[in-house]
Amino acid sequence: MSSHPVVRVRAYDEGVSARTLAAGVREVQVELGVDPEFPAAVLAAARAAAAAPRMPEVDRTDLPLITIDPAGSRDLDQAMHLERTEDGGFLVHYAIADVAAFVTAGDPLDAEAHRRGQTLYGAEATVPLYPPVLSEGAASLLPGEERPALLWTIRMTADGERVDADLERVRVRSRQQLSYEEAQALVDAGAGPATLAVLADLGPLRLAREAARGGISLPVPEQEVDVVGDRWRLEHRTRLPVEEWNAQVSLLTGFAAAAMMLYGEVGMLRTLPARDPGEEQRLRRGARALGLDWPAEMLFADFVRTLDPDEPRHVAMLLDVTRVLRGAGYVTFDGDVPPYARHAGLATEYAHVTAPLRRLGDRYALEVCLALCSGGDVPTWVRTALPGLPATLAASGRRAVAYERAVLDLVEAGVLAGAVGEQFDAFVVDRDDDDHTRGQVVISSPAVEAPLVADRELPLGGQVRLRLEEVDVAERRVRFSLV
C-alpha cells in the first residue's frame, strides 16, 4: 500500500494488537524466506569474535565522539566529532564500526552476511545482517565502550568544501548517545556537546552545496506506529533539521570515498542513472495538474526543494518524483573507471561506506579506501568479491523493499481493523495514466496510504471522501470506495 517505511514502534505492549502484529510479521518473514534467527554455527562464530576482536594499535579514544540515531537504536555504525579550525574551516572526525575486526572472509559470519545482504527493517521486526551480539553489542559504537573503528578525518573550508580526507584503523570510545529529538532539543537550546553547534553550522552549508550542484534530498514523510492494547495508531513523522545535517555528514564521507576509489581505479560506487529528458516534462504536467507552481526557468532539483511533506498535493508530487529517481544500483571496478559512475539524485559520485553493520557492501568499500590511504594493496579477499557484489546487493535491496512494504501493509490494515463502514477524508496522490478511476489515496488520520478503484474519475491532488469497505489483516489488505 504505502511507499513509506515504518520508522519505529513508539509505544508497544503485550496486548491483542501486539500479538497480531508479531504473528503477521512472522508470516511475512516466512513468505519472503527471511529469518531474524541465525544458525548455531553463525552464533558461535559471533560469540567468539565478540570475545576477541582485532583491536588496532592506534588509540583515538581521546576524541569526544557522539552518536545521533533514532531513539532506542543499538546498531550504531557512526560516531562523530566536529570542530572549527584556526582558519575558520571545519575538521570532521567520523568513526565507522569496523566489522572486519570481527568478521573474516569465508568464515560463517561472512557467508551468512552474503546470504542476507543487509539488515531488514519494519516496525520492531528487524532482521539483522549480523547477530545482535555483534551488531548491537561488541561491534556497535555504544557510549562508554572502547571499540575498533575506521576513522575518517576530513578537512573542509569555511564554506563547507571538502579539502582532503584520510582513513585509518583506530580504537575509539563514544562519549554520548543522542536520539534525533534529544540532539535537536540541545541544538535549539544552545546546549550539549560542542559538536552539535558545529553540526548546526556545517549542515546548512552542505545542504546549500547540494542545492548548488543540483542534488536532491527528498523530504518524504515517514510513519510511526503505536501498538497498545487492542488498538494500533499510525502517524506521519517529518524529519528534524538535525537529521538532515547528520545525513549530510554521512553523504560527505561517501563522496570522499568515491573520489578516492575513482582516483585509485578500484572499488564500488552507488549509482543512479540520469533521468530521461521526457520525465521532466511529464513531471511538469503533473505539477500543473496538482496546481503547483513550477516556473519554466526553475530547475528540477530547486522545484523539489519547494515541496512541503505536510501538504497533501506536495506529497503527491514527492511520490511522483520518487518513482523517477528509482533504479539505484552498484557498480564495481578494478583497473578501469566505469563508463557511468554518477548518482544522478546526488549529482556527483558516491559510495556507501558508513553503515557496515547494516549493509554488506560497506565493509568492502571501506577496505579499498583503507588500502588507498595507506598506500598498500587492496586485500585479495576484497578484489575477489568485488565482481559479484552488485548482484548480491541488488537482490537484498529488492528483498528489503518487499519486507518493508509487507510489514507496513500489515500495520495499516491493523490500524483500520474494526473501522469497516466508517468514512475518512483523503487526498488522491497518484492516478493511473491510462485509467483515471484507479489511483492511490493518503488519509491524514490515521496516516494510511492505500490503493483505490473508484466508480468515477479520481481528481489528482484533490480531496475525496472514502468509505472503508473491507479490512483483512491476515492478507494485509484494505479496500475503500468513494462516497
d(CA 332, CA 268): 4
Work out whether strand 146-156 and strand 329-334 pair parallel, antiparallel, or are unpaired: unpaired
Which range has the worst mean pLDDT, 23-32, 242-251, 287-296, 443-452?
443-452
- DSSP letters, 196-261, are HHHHHHHHHHHHHHHHHHT-------EEEEEEETTEEEEEEEPPPHHHHHHHHHHHHHHHHHHHHH
Residue 183's pLDDT is 98
Question: Maximum CA pair distance of the chain?
Answer: 70
Position 217 pLDDT exceeds 90: no
Answer for the pair 170, 374: CB distance below 8 angstroms, yes or no.
no
Mean pLDDT in residue range 92-115: 98
Mean pLDDT in residue range 121-133: 87
Interhelix angle 389-416/360-374, rounded to 10 degrees, is 140
Cell numbers 466508480 correspond to what residue? Answer: 455
* Phi, psi (degrees; rounded to nearest 5) at 119: -75, 140
Residue 157's pLDDT is 98
d(CA 261, CA 258): 5
pLDDT band, very low/low/confident/very high, at 5 (cuts 50, 70, 90): very low
Position 8 pLDDT exceeds 70: no
d(CA 289, CA 268): 40
Mean pLDDT in residue range 389-414: 91
pLDDT band, very low/low/confident/very high, at 231 (cuts 50, 70, 90): low
Mean pLDDT in residue range 48-52: 98
d(CA 89, CA 340): 32
Position 16 pLDDT exceeds 60: no
**90-to-169, 346, 411 alpha-carbon distances in Å:** 22, 22, 43
Answer for the pair 130, 109: CB distance below 8 angstroms, yes or no.
yes
Among the listed residues 366, 407, 417, the one whose alpha carbon sits nearest the alpha carbon of residue 230: 417
274 Cβ partners below 8 Å, 6+ apart?
342, 344
Q: Domain map of the chain by residue range?
A: 6-248+353-365+387-414, 418-483
Mean pLDDT in residue range 177-183: 96
Position 361 pLDDT exceeds 70: yes
Among the listed residues 421, 354, 317, the one whose alpha carbon sits nearest the alpha carbon of residue 97: 354
Assigned fold of 418-483: OB fold (Dihydrolipoamide Acetyltransferase, E2P) (2.40.50)
Residue 13's pLDDT is 53
pLDDT band, very low/low/confident/very high, at 230 (cuts 50, 70, 90): low
Which range has the worst mean pLDDT, 95-109, 181-195, 298-312?
298-312
Position 41 pLDDT exceeds 90: yes
Which grid cell is 346?
Answer: 546526488
Which range has the worst mean pLDDT, 29-33, 162-166, 264-268, 362-366?
29-33
Residue 46's pLDDT is 98
Mean pLDDT in residue range 232-236: 69
Cell numbers 496510504 correspond to what residue? Answer: 449
Answer for the pair 152, 93: CB distance below 8 angstroms, yes or no.
yes
How buried is 208 (Cβ within 10 angstroms: 0-12 exposed, 13-18 middle, 19+ buried)?
Answer: exposed
384 Cβ partners below 8 Å, 6+ apart?
none
d(CA 136, CA 142): 8
Mean pLDDT in residue range 187-212: 96
* Phi, psi (degrees; rounded to nearest 5) at 132: -55, -25
d(CA 98, CA 148): 6
Position 288 pLDDT exceeds 90: no
Q: Cα-atom radius of gyration of the chain, to the nearest Å?
A: 23
The CB density around residue 236, as the number of other CB atoms within 10 Å, is 19
Mean pLDDT in residue range 4-15: 50
Residue 141's pLDDT is 98
d(CA 260, CA 289): 44
Which range has the worst mean pLDDT, 101-105, 193-197, 305-309, 398-402?
305-309
d(CA 135, CA 46): 10
The CB density around residue 145, as the number of other CB atoms within 10 Å, is 13
Position 390 pLDDT exceeds 70: yes
Residue 7's pLDDT is 43
Cell numbers 475518512 correspond to what residue? Answer: 424
Residue 2's pLDDT is 40
Of the segments 159-168, 223-232, 446-455, which one has the largest average pLDDT value?
A: 159-168
Position 1 pLDDT exceeds 70: no
Across all residues in the chain, what is the average pLDDT?
90
Which range has the worst mean pLDDT, 7-11, 132-136, 224-228?
7-11
Answer for the pair 360, 129: CB distance below 8 angstroms, yes or no.
yes
217 Cβ partners below 8 Å, 6+ apart?
207, 210, 244, 247
**Percent of the chain whose predicted confidence (pLDDT) is above 90:** 66
d(CA 180, CA 52): 32
65 forms beta bridges with none
Residue 47's pLDDT is 98
pLDDT band, very low/low/confident/very high, at 229 (cuts 50, 70, 90): low
Residue 279's pLDDT is 81
Pairwise pLDDT comparison (319 vs 356), residue with the higher score: 356
Mean pLDDT in residue range 329-338: 94
